């Protein structure tokens, strides 16, 4: 059986923690900062852990993640 291919877009956007959870960048920080509160901007720094439902979808795209 040949190896399954990972989706290239998913490789660039998601990574896995040591315990197997999916890490992703925070959404909502590309533009329109003027309408966001300072608290929102602060809390959206860095990365976040995806919920189990979202992580299940991502794991389909990254079979060896």
What CATH number should be reported for the domain whose range is 8-61? 4.10.410.60
What's the CA gap between 65 and 55, in Å, rounded? 11
CA atoms within 13 A on the CB side of 5: 3
Give the residue extent of every domain in the chain: 8-61
What's the CA gap between 32 and 44, in Å, rounded? 13
End-to-end CA distance of the chain: 19
pLDDT of 11-63, one tens digit each? 999 999 999 999 999 999 999 999 999 999 999 999 999 999 999 999 999 99
Q: Evaluate whether 7 touches 62 at the Cβ level (below 8 Å).
A: yes
pTM above 0.75, yes or no: yes
């Amino acid at each position: 059986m040949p190896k399954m291919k990972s989706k290239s877009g998913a490789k660039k956007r998601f990574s896995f923690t040591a315990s197997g959870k999916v890490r992703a960048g925070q959404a909502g920080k590309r533009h329109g900062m003027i309408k966001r509160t300072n608290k929102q901007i602060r809390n959206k720094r860095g990365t976040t852990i995806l919920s189990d439902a979202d992580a299940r979808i991502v794991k389909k795209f990254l079979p060896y993640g």
